[in-house]
Amino acid sequence: MPIRQLKASGVRNLQPLDLDFHPGVNFIYGANGSGKTSVLEAINLMAAGKSFRTSRLQHVFSQESDRIEMLMAIEDETLGECELDSLRLKGGDHLLKQNGSVLTSQADASHWLPVQIIEPTTFKLLAGSPEERRQFIDWGVFHVEHAFMEHWKTFRKQLKQRNSVLKQKEDEWLAVWNKGFIESATAIDQHRRDYLKRFKPEFERILTQLDDSIDVTLAYYPGWEKDSALSDVLERQKERDMVLGYTQSGPHRAELRIKVDKQPAAEILSRGQQKTVVAALKIAQGSLFQQESGRRTIYLVDDLASELDEKHRFALCKLLEDLKCQVFITSIDKEKLNDIWQPAASKVFHVEQGKIREDEPGTD
Ligand SMILES: Nc1ncnc2c1ncn2[C@@H]1O[C@H](COP(=O)(O)OP(=O)(O)OP(=O)(O)O)[C@@H](O)[C@H]1O
Ligand SMILES: [Mg+2]
C-alpha cells in the first residue's frame, strides 16, 4: 500500500482531515467547489513540494491559516514504511521530516512518492513550455536512476557559476568552468537518452491501447545542436553568451518534441486527442517505473469525466487497473464514478464544503 494515511490542515478550504486510504482505488466525489481537487493538491504538495494548480504556493494556504501541516504514512512494497511530516509557513519556511528526522531536500520525500497527475490542464504538457516536457522526462529518470539527482544538482551549480562568469565577462575563467559543466551536462544527457530509449516503446504500446488512430512520434533534443559536441557549441557561442550573460546551450534547454507528421502535436491534434496522448505519456511513465523499480506509481486523476469521452475513459481506467497501483480519482457525482469504473475493491470519500469523510460501505 503506498499512501496509507493522510492528515492535513491549512490547505485551501479543507477542514483538518485524517483519512485512511485504500491501497487501490480511492474515489472522491462532491459538488463543484467542495474541495476535491484540493485533496489531490495536498497529496501532490507532499510528493513534489509544489502545487499542480498554481506556481504561487501562498494560494494553497487556507485564507484562515498561515500554516499547512501534513503527515503522511507510506507503506512501500520495496522501500518499507515511512512517515513524512511537513510544516509549511506562509512566509516560505518549510520543515520536512522523515520518521522524525529532518530532511534537507524535497527530493528525499519525493523519492517515496512517485506521483503522476492527470487533470484538466494536463494537455498543456504538449502545448506548454519545453520546461514542462523536460520535467516530464526527468521524473522518469529521477525515480529510476538515483545518480541523476546528484548530477543535476552539480550541473545547476556549474550553470550558475558559468553564467556569473559570463556576466562578469571573465573570459579567462570560462575554460575552467566549461570542463565541469560539460562533464555533468554529458551525464544528464546520457541518462535522459537511455531513459527515452526504454520509454518510447512503452509509450507506443500504451497509446495504441488508448487510441490506435493517433500516430505521434517523440524526438529528443539534448539542448544543443544534435550533431555537434557540446564543447564545440560552447566555443562557437562564447561571444554571444557573453553578450547575453547566460549559457544558451546545455541540458537546461533540452526538449522532448512530440510530433504528428513532423508538425508539433499541439498544433495538429484535437483537445481530446491531446489529452489522450498526455494520458498515454503518464501511464507509460508509471508503467515503466513499475517494471524497472518493482514499486508502484500513485495516480491522481482529477475530474476524469470532463477529460475524455466514454471509450477513452474506459480504456484509461482499464490501464490503471492493470497497473494495480494506488489511484485517487475525483468526480462531481458518485454515479458518474460508478459508470466509469467498478474496481473489485475501493474506498469512496465524500467532500462537502471542505469536509471530507469516508462513505460507509454500501451507502448510496
Ligand atoms: N486559499 C484558499 N482558502 C480557502 N478557500 C479556498 C482557497 N482557495 C480556493 N478556495 C476555495 O476552495 C474550494 C475548493 O476548491 P476545489 O478546487 O478543491 O474544489 P473542487 O471540489 O475540485 O471543485 P470543482 O468540481 O469545481 O473542480 C472552492 O470553493 C474555492 O473557492
Ligand atoms: Mg476540482
- Give the CATH number for residue 54: 3.40.50.300
CA–centroid distance, residue 53 to ligand 1 (Å): 11
Q: Which of 234, 262, 294 is the last residue of a domain?
A: 294
Task: Supply the residue whose CA is at minimum distance from atom 13 of ligand 1.
Answer: 33
What is the helix (H) or strand (E) element at residue 306, kind and residue range?
helix 304-307
Domain for residue 107, yes or no?
Answer: yes
Q: Does residue 9 lie within any of the structural domains? A: yes
Residue nearest atom 7 of ligand 1, based on CA coordinates: 12
Among residues 56, 30, 52, 26, the alpha carbon closest in space to that of 41 is found at 52
- Residue at 147 is within a domain: yes
36 C-beta closer than 6 A to ligand 1: yes
Ligand 1 atom closest to Cα of residue 35 = 18
Q: Which residue has the cell 504561487?
A: 56
Ion ligand 2: residues, CB within 5 A, are 37
Are both 44 and 189 inside the same structural domain? no
pLDDT at 362: 59
Position 121 in a domain: no
Position in ligand 1 atom list of the atom nearest CA 63? 3
Q: How many residues does the chain have?
A: 364
Cα 345 to ligand 1 centroid, rounded to whole Å: 28
Q: What is the whole-number distance in angstroms between the Cα of residue 325 and the centre of ligand 2?
A: 22
Domain contains 4: yes
Residue type (1 letter), 354: G
- Contact between residue 118 and residue 298 where contact means Cβ atoms under 8 Å apart: no
Q: Are residues 16 and 84 in the same domain?
A: yes
Residue with the smallest CA separation from ligand 1 atom 12 is 13
CA of 222 to the centre of ligand 2 (A): 36
Return per-residue pLDDT of the chain as tens, 364 residues: 699 999 999 999 999 999 999 999 999 999 999 999 999 999 999 999 999 999 999 999 999 999 999 999 999 989 999 999 999 999 999 999 999 999 999 999 999 999 999 998 888 899 999 999 999 999 999 999 888 999 999 999 999 999 999 998 888 888 888 999 999 999 999 999 999 999 999 999 999 999 999 999 999 999 999 889 999 999 999 999 999 999 999 999 999 999 999 999 999 999 999 999 999 999 999 999 999 999 999 999 998 877 688 899 889 999 999 999 999 999 998 877 777 777 767 899 999 999 999 997 655 5
Q: Which atom of ligand 1 is nearest to the CA of 60?
A: 1
Q: What is the DSSP-derived secondary structure letter of residue 56?
A: -
Note whether 95 and 243 are same-domain residues: no
Is there a domain that residue 120 lies in?
no
Cell of 323: 497497473
Domains identified in the chain, total number:
2
Q: Which ligand is nearest to the CA of 65?
A: 1
In this structure, the answer to whether residues 96 and 167 fall within a common structural domain is: no
In whole angstroms, give the CA distance from residue 343 to residue 340: 10
Same domain, 362 and 247: no
Give CA–CA dist 137/75, Å, rounded.
26
Domain boundary among 268, 294, 320: 294
Burial 179-190 (b: 16+ CB within 10 A, else e): eebbebbbbbbe
Distance CA 315, CA 157 (A): 44
* Range of the structural domain that residue 255 is part of: 126-294
Please indicate, yes or no, whether residues 277 and 327 belong to a single structural domain of this protein: no
Residue type, 364: D
Kindly give the distance from the C-alpha atom of residue 256 to the centroid of ligand 2, in angstroms, as a whole number.
Answer: 29
140 shares a domain with 263: yes
pTM (2 decimals)? 0.94
Residues 137, 13: one domain?
no
User: Is the beta carbon of 62 within 6 A of some atom in ligand 1?
Assistant: yes
Based on the domain organization, do 141 and 104 belong to the same domain? no
Cβ 59 under 6 angstroms from ligand 1: yes
Phi, psi of 352 (to 5 degrees): -140, 115
Whole-number Å distance, alpha carbon 310 to ligand 1 midpoint, is: 26
Question: Which residue minimizes the CA distance to atom 17 of ligand 1?
Answer: 37
Does 101 sit in the ligand 1 pocket, CB within 6 Å? no
Q: Which residue among 34, 41, 59, 61 has the greatest number of ligand 1 atoms within 8 angstroms of its CB, and so is best to mutate?
A: 34
33 lines ligand 1 (CB under 6 A): yes
Q: Do 361 and 212 share a structural domain?
A: no
- 131 and 79 together in one domain: no
Cα 119 to middle of ligand 1, angstroms: 15
Domain final residue, candidates 261, 294, 327: 294
Domain-located, residue 39: yes
User: In this structure, what CATH number is given to the domain that contains residue 242?
Assistant: 1.20.1050.90
- Tell whether 269 and 306 lie within a shared domain: no
Q: What is the pLDDT of residues 63-110, one digit of tens each?
A: 999 999 999 999 998 999 999 999 999 999 999 999 999 999 999 999
Q: Whose CA is nearest to atom 30 of ligand 1?
A: 33
Among protein residues, the one whose CA lies closest to atom 18 of ligand 1: 35
